[in-house]
Chain A
């Protein structure tokens, strides 16, 4: 197939820092898989406008009442934090 994807860009979007080797390997894997799924583009369906659903049984969304339910304590919320200080999660600087 025509190779129309850029593995570096995809990895950037997915926020995964790939090594050169990984890039090469995944580039190849994705090509093979995309070649296979291309079969779908030949598929001719009765109508182009099949309604897009997400729940396979087409269940409708139910809404919940605006009532408070107690949940995690402050300690539980931070219990898995790789780094925290003064009750906050701490990460390296996140400037734009």
Chain B
């Protein structure tokens, strides 16, 4: 019996609005606790919520970009549960009338695509943050400290249908969703800051079975790595349980980042009854045609479309996917360089490889002002025309990142142009052969490898300006003579 895993993912995306969802306190990024609060987000008696227009525009944009049906007559609900970091002890969320329903998102794994079905996209508010202190482990905490700066920050929750079948797909889905949020400019999309947080519902069932197995929810994943590992761990745990005939309990499990395993948080029996009801502080929300059209008009090019355009330039889907998930300047740099050089492979490799590599190594965050995309085109052309070696090209690029000059100027200055003048090279070779008679003899007796040594000497003497292919050709010719 082969078992098939089924996974559904709930993602919370923190929006990049200036102010919170239901009050006009700033969304702040600070370690100072409880500094951005008002009666509303602190849940003081008598305070009331008023929704943020920008947040509603952002979620509408996300819903539209994933092809969701927009709920024209929507509303906010109260989700009731007691938790010390939830100031009102209810969360304002959306229940049966979310902003978006039934969408999909295209993901890419290697050279193929998949569509992940999205069930719903809804708006809600974040909670405060708890810090448990004591011996450091939650179980033995002696007190909990609360910071409510995050309380009321707008969150969009996106729920997939149970259609994901592997941890790879799950990771690709989150990567795609993150990029979408960044391209739509609705979130910073920074995983390390908790801008995206995800829960996964996982079950296993015999292949071909029409029914899903008992589902287990995994919480507390905040990196792609933990998502991947937690899913793999859980699939393995459940598969083994089924094979051993052990019953899987419907429960919520916690991913322990250090121990790399999931453990029971709470079982379904004690599960909450959230008593959802329409929030009487917030009248029904009607999204007008005008509003939706206005939001539509701000829609940028989506990652999927970007990939199509990139593939049209000659890139593979995998390469296109890498570029579509890169910073905007990298994408546009690629298009400019490609337009000039018509060489997708070289443009892609130089930008995503050498350029980004050198920048990372030298801790350069953005290209210097003097650096023109034309320099990259120039470098690619110089290599193509054998004017410089690949090694020299790297040197030139590094120089360009530090000094205001052009590739030709650097090549000139550093004497990096490859010497293609046969007479000049021959002169140099004759001299080298004379100085290394012993090596020549050994080559003649069959030690071919030593040719490389002589080529190296030519390169060294010429400061790398000689075309090494040409040097080798001429060397062999002279030795034979």
Contacts and interface: CB of A to CB of B under 8 A. Distances in A.
Q: Are chains A and B touching directly in their complex (CB below 8 angstroms)?
A: yes
A66 B283 contact: no
B52 A64 contact: yes
Contacts of A45: none
Interface in B279-296: 279-280, 282-286
B138 A95 contact: yes
Interface stretch (B17-25, B162-170, B445-453, B467-475): B17-25
Contacts of B280: 54
B29 interface: no
Given A61-B282, A63-B56, A77-B37, 11 more contacts: A54-B75, A55-B283, A58-B284, A60-B283, A61-B285, A66-B52, A77-B42, A87-B32, A88-B34, A90-B145, A94-B85
The A contact surface, by secondary structure, is loop
A33 to B, nearest CB: 18
The range of chain B's interface size is 35 or more
Interface in A52-96: 52-55, 58-69, 71-72, 74, 77-78, 85-96
A11 B128 CA distance: 25
B291 to A, nearest CB: 9
A66 B132 contact: no
Nearest to B134: A93
B34, B130, B142, B280 pick with most chain A CB within 10 angstroms:
B34
A15 interface: yes
Interface string A21-52: 00000000000000000000000000000001
Listed from nearest, the 5 A-B pairs whose CB atoms lie closest are A71-B38, A66-B54, A63-B53, A69-B24, A88-B145
B109 interface: no
Interface in B10-62: 17-19, 23-26, 32-35, 37-39, 42, 50-56
B278 interface: yes
The range of chain A's interface size is 35 or more
B83 interface: yes
A85 B145 contact: yes
A13 interface: yes
A95 B141 contact: yes
Contact of A87 (B34, B38, B132): B34
A15, A58, A77, A85 pick with most chain B CB within 10 angstroms:
A77
B176 to A, nearest CB: 27
Nearest to B97: A52
Contacts of B225: none
Contacts, number: 128
A87 to B, nearest CB: 4
A90 B75 CA distance: 34
A92 B145 contact: no
Contacts of B145: 85-86, 88-90
Contacts of B278: 52, 54
A93 B242 CA distance: 36
B283 A61 contact: yes
Contacts of A74: 32, 34-35, 37
Given A63-B53, A88-B146, A93 B284 contact: no
B479 interface: no
Contacts of A77: 34, 37, 42, 148
Given A54-B279, A88-B34, A94-B132, A66 B144 contact: no
